[in-house]
Structure 1
Amino acid sequence: MLIRSLTLATLLAFAGPLFAADSDSPLAADVGRARPLIVIAPSTVDPVWVSLKKSLEDPANKQGIAQRNIKVYSVLNMFGQLDGKDLGQQDTMALIRSLKLGAGALPKVILVGKDGETKLESSGEESKSVDLKKIFDTIDALPAAEKELAPPTPPPVAAEPATTKGAKGSKPGKPAKPAKPVEQPDD
């Protein structure tokens, strides 16, 4: 019994973070619904972030962002935001982990499609040439199947039967006895 417990504990210690890294990312909620645009910069005065932020605030560009279902994630100086609203520290770290970028001090711009695949990625000096027009052109060049990708539908939830109080012939049921646990031999 002790050997099984140690084996299971070791397996969970190694495999647990791998499973958690995929499911706790804020990007997981956007699959099928929106196109995340992630901007990672070492500071709030980084030229890549300043130029993109200026173009994001332009009213003409806001309409294009809404039409293309773009959500803007920014990680500036290790503080994350989603469309200008602060993310928690855990969500920010989960976002960075899900991108599997590694460490670096260079600015990065990443566009993820509705299918969850990276459509545009630039780093360092290359990021300075990325503007909103290039992002819009990348989205517009996507195949029609990706453009019209619908969000996954959740499985139907079984409705509980409605009970009425005081109905004739109905008695509250007795709770079921818990099953006896199966005894396993010791090793």
Structure 2
Amino acid sequence: MLARSLTLATLLAIAAPLVFADDAPLAQDLGKARPLVVIAPSTADPVLRGINDALKEPAAQAGFKERNLVLYSVAGMVGKRDDKFLEQQTTMALIRELSLGARNGTQVILVGKDGQKHEIKHDGTLDAKEIFAAVDALPAEEKAITAPEPVPVAETKAGKPAKAGEPAKPAKPAKPLPPPKPLDD
């Protein structure tokens, strides 16, 4: 019985990090985009509605794409990423990741490509120009961050990169290990 309990505990200790590995929803945008997170008490919130209405305009959409913005919205306990619903666990992980604490009212947080959080102050309304001004005010180092480079192409025998249409040669199989020596008693 004790052995089974220890085995189960060991399996849970090993598997738990793998199950909860996707616990950081903003990690997928790190280095690629700037998440704009709006946490509102309800969908009728004027700040959230103003941002959603602004995104229906082509000029605002172009500004969002130009500045690599991704809109996360949490109204009540329902989360969305670019107007697509998030799972409840992902929404809760987003709120935990921001670690804002208990506050009243609507909160607007701009997360830079470097992962730094910047709160955007507002007076009950917020338009696209104020958001764009906050993005443009980010430090130059943050603007220079790019997504990680893809893995390089396989190389040929001479150490030169393989041509685009040319398939890479398969690696030679490793030599088999010699059989183990018998133990001396």
TM over 0.5: same fold?
A: yes
Report SS of the residue matched to 2:146. coil
Structure 2 counterpart of 1:148, one-letter code: A
Q: Tell whether 2:106 aligns with 1:107.
A: yes
Q: How much has 1:135 moved relative to structure 2?
A: 1.2
Q: How much has 1:128 moved relative to structure 2?
A: 1.5
1:44 to 1:151, Cα distance in 2 relative to 1, 3 A: same
Q: How much has 1:37 moved relative to structure 2?
A: 0.3
Q: Distance in 1 between matches of 2:145 and 2:102?
A: 32
Q: How much has 1:90 moved relative to structure 2?
A: 1.2
Q: Tell whether 2:149 aligns with 1:141.
A: no
Report SS of the residue matched to 1:50. helix
Q: Does structure 2 retain, via aligned residues, the 8 Å contact 1:47–1:128? A: yes
Report SS of the residue matched to 1:128. coil
Q: How much has 1:118 moved relative to structure 2?
A: 1.2
Aligned residue number for residue 150 of structure 1: 146
Q: Distance in 2 between matches of 1:29 and 1:89?
A: 17
**Larger helix proportion of the pair:** 1
Q: How much has 1:105 moved relative to structure 2?
A: 4.4
Q: How much has 1:87 moved relative to structure 2?
A: 0.8
1:116 to 1:127, Cα distance in 2 relative to 1, 3 A: farther
Q: How much has 1:53 moved relative to structure 2?
A: 1.2
Aligned residue number for residue 73 of structure 2: 74
Aligned residue number for residue 82 of structure 2: 83
* Alignment RMSD (CA, Å): 3.5
Matches within 5 A, 1:6-85: 24-85=23-84
Identical pairs, percent: 46
Q: How much has 1:43 moved relative to structure 2?
A: 0.9
Residue deviations 1:71-91 (CA, integer Å, cap 9, x gap): 000001111100001111111
**Aligned pairs, number:** 155
TM-score between both structures, scaled by the size of structure 1 = 0.68
User: Which consecutive unaligned segments of at least 5 residues does structure 2 have?
Assistant: 1-5, 156-167, 180-185
Report SS of the residue matched to 2:105. coil
